[in-house]
Structure formats: structure tokens, C-alpha cells
Amino acid sequence: MVMQVGLDEQGHINVATAEALSAATSYWIEAIPGASDVPEGLYVLEGTRLGHRPDDVATPCWINTLVPADLTAGTPAATSR
């Protein structure tokens, strides 16, 4: 279950979830017109860390960082930071 989505200054998508996302999976992000500034497209997991949502620091969650998939490589792959 996705609890919160945000876009950082590098264009990476940060997704707060109840459980960590899988690194072996590609994720399709669909834009919600008028409700989100997150670019629609295929993304891969760059990293995951345990954290808290800014509006609910009492409940832990997973902060997952997604980057656009590299479709020119033939298979989606994240770049290292």
C-alpha cells in the first residue's frame, strides 16, 4: 500500500510504503491529473530505507527511491548514485 509519493530535486520519486518494494521489479507510475506532479512512466528501485512520513512520525514506513527505467539498455536498470 502506497501512503505517500513525492518528487525530489534530482527527479527521483520517493514512495512511502508499509513494506519495502522489491528491487527485482519495475514499477509503472501513473500520473493523476491535477493531483500529482510526478512524471508518468516506468521506474526501477534505486534504494530503500526505513523512515517515517513527515505527517506521521510515530508510524514507521519504508522510503523507496525510484528512478526512471533505462529503456535503451534493453532491460530496465537503475543507475547508482
pLDDT 10s digits, 14-64: 888 889 999 888 998 887 777 777 788 899 999 999 998 777 788 899 999
For residue 47, the one-letter residue type is G
Strand order from edge to edge, sheet including 2-7: 2-7, 13-17, 56-68, 41-53, 26-29
Q: How far apart are CA 57 and CA 54, in angstroms?
A: 6
Higher-pLDDT residue of 71, 2? 71
Q: What is the reported pTM?
A: 0.73
